[in-house]
Amino acid sequence: MSSRSANGINVELGECINNTGFHEVDKTEGVVDGDAENTISAVSGSPNGEGDAYTQIKPYAGMPKEVLLLYSQQARYRLPREILFWLILVCTLALVALTITVIALSPACLSWWQSSPVYQIYPRSFKDSDGDGVGDLKGITEQLEHIEFLNIKAIWISPFYKSPMKDFGYDVEDFRDIDPLFGTMQDFDALLAAMHDKGLKLIMDFIPNHTSDKHQWFNLSRSGHEHYKDYYIWADCNSTHPPNNWVSVFGNTSWTYVEDRKQCYYHQFLKEQPDLNFRNPHVRREMTEIVRFWLEKGVDGFRMDAVKHILEAKHLRNEPQVNPLQSPETIDTEFELHHDYTASQLGLHDILRDWRAEMEVYSREPGRYRVMITESYDYEEIEKTMMYYGTPNVKESDIPFNFYLLDLPRNLTGAGAQGLVSLWLANMPEGKWPNWVVGNHDKPRISSSAGLDYIRVINMLLLTLPGTPTTYYGEEIGMENINVTLDQIQDPFGQFNPVSNSSRDPQRSPMQWSAGPNAGFSDANNTWLPLHPNYTTVNVEAQQKDSGSVLAQYRALSNLREAELPLHRGWMCYVRSNTDVFAFLREMDGLDKAFLVVLNFGEDSVLDLSDVEELPERMTVRMSTKQENDGRQVEKSSIATARGEGLLMEYYAHVRFNPGHASRCFVSEKACYLGALDILYKC
């Protein structure tokens, strides 16, 4: 069907849709002599009311633009539209403001090295995959499920560089290669890939202070090569008279004469471990390149070994004797000298900060922060250890290892435990993150030094304190030191003085995986160190089946630490300590749930906390190291603990302890909980 318009153009008309809201205007109304302009005027309406007005009741589908504009200006259509527009605008601005506020008030998320314990693996002793009696990288890969089972996300692996093994990997021949004893670079790449696939992080040992005497740099240096001659510390001497009285950590003089150069080189450790000269800028560049090499590989951080030894005084003066009356000729151990010239020298922290800056470059990718941990035994000079945290303006170590809990066996009381914890927290710079170590490859296992009765309560201490705990392999099942006969000693430190019981072999025995041959560690006829005879009962396989085992309790604590906000980032407040018990709170502002931790390091005891008003009268034992006590109700006036027992008690209260006892409380990453939105915010 077609129709001719007023201007003579044919318009094709299709089927129409009946609009019940439309009624046709009489053809004679608004049209005079067929004038098309009058028709438009009738549709448009006259602003002054003259002429024919458009009388349509409501809009209809297919209305012309003029009709649409007419209706859009009416109040009943315009006002809802404007209200809706401003409502959307205000809501959008409010949402943006809320988002900005939440971001601004949200505390920093804990990094991976803060949220998880660190598990130390001594690779020689973890798992042997090729039947030679020595652990290796493939063996670690095979046992990653054990790390996942423990709910641990970070692994620190002791050295596996190419090495003559005079000090079991701490004498490095090539920083860019893997020792064949542990596998190949392909094995390392496979291990790292497998770890990252499982969401695990790898921390490498980095040994900057020295190399092996088999290292190419040292061979060139001892031959007098122009570029390498000052890569190490050389001094004029002869074969019988060293340059000064400096003593090696392993005992006797720290100087060794080399006939080729008619000079002595300096070594703070074995003579097979010559010290690098970090006052040579070429050495610093070389070591930074090595850091960069492993970061490019994808490692997640470094544990920097023996950092306080990196620099020595240039003047080479004799160090003062601890006992001025002692005959100088009899001095042969490090503890007989004050190390004013061979430790913690000026310039040391500049070197570490340079490495930290290099690691920052590789930390820019979200979720790939590269952690830096420093190792320095400073004994009573804790202020030197704290300097590794850096300054408010200059970043250095994320955590300097805290070795003071290693003294717990000598301070095995509740008050002694609190004293060691307080020693670190009281000296740590504000806003820094603490860490806790109760065992490693250099110190006796805590089960042997403190006693089997206390291994469970020490694990509870480790996993309920604020900060990052480090667990030495085997501590999660309560492994003990082995007995090593004189002919079995492998450790060079022990070989230097075998009758002094200074060997570190006892705490390095093979991991006890099962009750099978060689404890499931190796298929070899002999392992590099003997196994502990208790492996038939103390092993991973057996303890996984026992809900009350040391392993089961370690895992439960690890899971609780991750799941409960007060335990992994809340306040820690001292409540009570005495000869037997150490009690502290873990709480978070804004959160009603809190925890009371009572640890018994002495004999059976009953603790009365009725004077602590912030505690409710009754609490629930969330976990005890004695499984039969789990879930029981405890009166705060009568908290009974047995020898070596630990209690983690849960309670609910609106009143927090920390506001009224600021001097007894500590928090590092402070945050408050907002229950209405289930979020944390800065407070």
Could you tell me if 476 and 554 are in contact, meaning their C-beta atoms sit under 8 angstroms apart?
yes
Catalytic: 187? no
- Provide the β-strand partners of residue 101: none
Strand (E) or helix (H) holding 195: helix 185-197
CA distance 140 to 159: 13
Q: What are phi and psi of 496, to 5 degrees?
A: -65, -40
Gap between the Cα atoms of 318 and 253, Å rounded: 12
Q: Tell me which residue has tokens 């695990």.
A: 200
Sequence-distant (6+) residues with CB within 8 A of 89 are none
Going by C-beta distance under 8 Å and a sequence separation of 6 or more, which residues neighbour residue 501? none
CA 658 distance to own-chain centroid: 26
Q: How many CB atoms lie within 10 A of CB 504?
A: 19
Q: Alpha carbon 129 to chain centroid distance?
A: 28
Residue with tokens 């035994």: 377
The token duo for 112 is 């991976």
Name which of 562, 560, 537 is nearest 550 in CA terms. Answer: 537
CA–centroid distance for 263 within its chain: 44
Q: Which of 136, 305, 580, 645 is catalytic?
A: 305
Tokens of 472: 């030495």
Burial label, 442 (beta-carbon count in 10 A; 0-12, 13-18, 19+): middle
User: 486 with 495: CB under 8 angstroms?
Assistant: no
Per DSSP, the residues of 65-104 read HHHHHHHHTSHHHHHHHHHHHHHHHHHHHHHHHHHHHHHH
Cα 440 to Cα 137: distance, rounded to the nearest angstrom = 19
The neighbouring-strand residues paired with 605 are: 641
Inter-residue contact 526 to 133 (CB < 8 Å): yes
How far apart are the C-alpha atoms of 572 and 465, rounded to whole Å?
Answer: 7
Strand runs labelled E in 211-342? 234-236, 255-258, 263-266, 301-304
Q: What is the DSSP string of 487-509?
A: GG---HHHHHSGGGT--SGGGGP
Where do the H-state alpha helices sit in 411-564? 414-427, 446-449, 455-464, 492-496, 540-544, 550-563
Sheet holding 234-236, edge to edge: 234-236, 263-266, 255-258
305 is catalytic: yes
CA 233 – CA 217 distance, rounded (Å) = 12
Catalytic residue among 312, 375, 475, 645: 375
Task: Give the tokens for residue 638.
Answer: 């009568």
- Tell me how far apart the alpha carbons of residues 578 and 602 are, in angstroms, rounded to a whole number: 9
E strand or H helix that includes residue 2: strand 2-4
β-sheet bridge partners, residue 469: 436
Active-site annotation, residues: 305, 375
